[in-house]
A and B are shown apart, each in its own frame.
Chain A
Amino acid sequence: MYCYPEDKVQHTACNGSSGLGLYSRPFIESFEETPMLVAVLTYMGYGILTIFGYLRDFLRDWKIERCHVAREREEQRDFVPLYQDFENFYTRNLYMRIRDSWNRPICSVPGAKVDLVERVSPDYNWTFDYTGKVVEGVINMGSYNYLGFAENTGYCADASAEVTMKYGVGVASTRQEMGNLDRHEEMEELVAKFLGVESAMAFGMGFATNSMNIPALTGKGCLILSDELNHASLVLGARLSGSTIRVFKHNNMQSLEKMLRDAIVHGQPRTHRPWKKILILVEGIYSMEGSIVRLPEVIALKKRYRAYLYLDEAHSIGALGPGGRGVVDYFGLDPRDVDVMMGTFTKSFGAAGGYIGGRKELLEYLRSHSHSAVYAASMSPPVVEQIIASMKCIMGEDGTTLGRDRVQQLAENTLYFRRRLTEMGFIIYGNSDSPVVPMMLYMPAKIGAFGREMLKRNIGVVVVGFPATPIIESRARFCISAAHTKDMLDTALSVISEVGDLLQVKYSRHERLIYDQIQD
């Protein structure tokens, strides 16, 4: 197993308790620093693109070149402008040039292999034409299919089909009015049992679960302490609630403790009254970094300073832990310590929607006060049945060991894939147990080149740039699935190594294993 000099096996020094008592297993994270030359060259690349962007904007403005962007009509030229031209500078001049790496249309179920619709662009990605052909059998390293439940055959799919025959597809009402089916009640009981909490409630959309329920939990006069790299849904929910928001450094427990102490000592900004409540917003796995939250320390802090904890397990439910029960299971903690456990069904369960779990009083309150429960349409029956079937499978209640095998397969695949990639010399961020693997690319041209070269060799990857990541830290993000066999991973790894040599993205400055050098 590889070990880097700057990796820290985290021992907590929280409140004088001896560190090793909080963590039962080593917590190995690595975020290797950007090499200086690469950073300088990346800024230079962006500078050149900006200069050419200004040139193209000048040509479009003076009508020397045809303009594809939205413009006002001729009669309205002198009015207050409707379209903010400069804000879209990045979209027009950088994103459009490599736009064919995103929004690729898929025409099969997004399992371990997927079929893509082939398309070409005659005018440099402003419009696309379909050639009529389909690229088959592309190895899918981009879908959030952690346990492989995105499939159209098997027990889950059959159960969903039966339920569609019985209940139809649309529910035509909200949960409060006529849309509360018996399948919804059964699903919520099952989710509560799976998580180990008293009660749970499900919503139709994961994003809406966060943005519509945080306003119901906090309001003016409350304090929200949110991690630096929280997802847009958490940020939107926090802003909509009207509470004071303070941001602590990513996964940094000293920063969080300092903020908690300041909040309790100084109180609200001008009146110095005590805060009505303090809510800590963290995620289980951060999908852009691949890092896992330091949950034992957060819970120790929360208990000491009497704050509430809201844990968003969108990527970690089903993917971490020996039983697939998420990050609480991974650290071996008590689910009753987390006040609000939120998660989504989109990633590991192959369905859609989100849930919130917690104590019975909390859920009774949310059932009547949450915007999503009162106004949004309820979940569709086949989706509900997919959740019930996949959850029973993971818990082992359908009588097979399929769920347990899949969770183990995912853990093995993750360890193997991460180990091989770091041995090859790529810079990989994140915790060594997380199935989300971000691989750094840095330079803007390599973002587009990596996506295209991998597709030429029949592997589909997701590449991410600004604004989802900081401007120089663009990356390719691989999502490991339990449906990937070792052969698929080996094929993918050899192709990644080939493309990595072609593009020269093996930036890591740690020593490579001699074994790898002999193979070269």
Chain B
Amino acid sequence: MAFEDVWKKISWLYYQYILVTALYMLEPWERAIFNSILISVAGMAVYTGYVFMPQHIMAILQYFEMVQ
């Protein structure tokens, strides 16, 4: 029952995304191209953040002389 509600909420959020970015008016294959480009760019950003975030945080803490 809770899964149904969550599914409906996600489906409504996807509908809003489709309306705001005007993907609602495009054909399914065009939506697939746009979504894959968006997901790959977002995925690359998350991966880069995951790999480099510890080094960035250590560099900042060393700059502020909180840790050697």
Interface residues of A in 46-97 (CB under 8 A from B): 46, 48-49, 52, 55, 94, 97
> Across the interface, do B30 and A445 meet the contact criterion of CB distance under 8 Å?
no
**In whole angstroms, what is the CA distance A443 to B19 when docked?**
8
**In whole angstroms, what is the CA distance A48 to B34 when docked?**
9
| Residue B1 CB within 8 A of the other chain | no
What A residues does B23 contact at CB under 8 A?
48, 445
State how many angstroms separate the Cβ of A68 from the closest Cβ of chain B. 14
**In whole angstroms, what is the CA distance A48 to B19 when docked?**
12
| Residue B21 CB within 8 A of the other chain | yes
State how many angstroms separate the Cβ of B36 from the closest Cβ of chain A. 14
**In whole angstroms, what is the CA distance A94 to B26 when docked?**
9
> Across the interface, do B30 and A45 meet the contact criterion of CB distance under 8 Å?
no
| Count of B interface residues, CB-CB < 8 Å | 14
**In whole angstroms, what is the CA distance A97 to B26 when docked?**
7
**In whole angstroms, what is the CA distance A49 to B27 when docked?**
11
**In whole angstroms, what is the CA distance A502 to B24 when docked?**
14
State how many angstroms separate the Cβ of A127 from the closest Cβ of chain B. 15
The chain A residue with its CB closest to the CB of B18 is A445
Interface residues of A in 311-334 (CB under 8 A from B): none
The chain A residue with its CB closest to the CB of B20 is A41
**In whole angstroms, what is the CA distance A124 to B15 when docked?**
19
- Given A48-B34, A52-B30, A504-B16, is A98 in contact with B22 using a C-beta cutoff of 8 Å? no
Interface of A is mostly: helix
| Residue B25 CB within 8 A of the other chain | yes
| Count of A interface residues, CB-CB < 8 Å | 21
Contact with B25, one of A41, A445, A503, A504 (Cβ below 8 angstroms): A445
State how many angstroms separate the Cβ of A346 from the closest Cβ of chain B. 32
**In whole angstroms, what is the CA distance A404 to B21 when docked?**
49
> Across the interface, do A46 and B22 meet the contact criterion of CB distance under 8 Å?
yes
> Across the interface, do A97 and B25 meet the contact criterion of CB distance under 8 Å?
yes
What A residues does B27 contact at CB under 8 A?
124
- Given A97-B25, A98-B25, is A446 in contact with B19 using a C-beta cutoff of 8 Å? yes
Interface centre among B16, B21, B27 (most CB of A within 10 A): B21
What A residues does B30 contact at CB under 8 A?
52, 55
> Across the interface, do A449 and B22 meet the contact criterion of CB distance under 8 Å?
no
> Across the interface, do A445 and B34 meet the contact criterion of CB distance under 8 Å?
no
- Given A443-B19, A503-B19, A504-B16, is A448 in contact with B24 using a C-beta cutoff of 8 Å? yes
The chain A residue with its CB closest to the CB of B19 is A445
Contact with B24, one of A94, A124, A445 (Cβ below 8 angstroms): A445
State how many angstroms separate the Cβ of B24 from the closest Cβ of chain A. 4
> Across the interface, do A44 and B21 meet the contact criterion of CB distance under 8 Å?
yes
What A residues does B20 contact at CB under 8 A?
41, 44-45, 443, 445
Q: A residues bordering B, Cβ < 8 Å?
A: 41, 44-46, 48-49, 52, 55, 94, 97-98, 124, 443-446, 448-449, 502-504
Q: B residues bordering A, Cβ < 8 Å?
A: 15-16, 18-27, 30, 34
Beyond A49-B22, A445-B22, A504-B16, 8 additional pairs, beta carbon < 8 A = A44-B21, A48-B22, A48-B23, A49-B25, A94-B25, A445-B23, A446-B19, A449-B24
> What are 5 A-B pairs at a CB distance below 8 A?
A45-B22, A49-B22, A52-B34, A445-B24, A448-B24
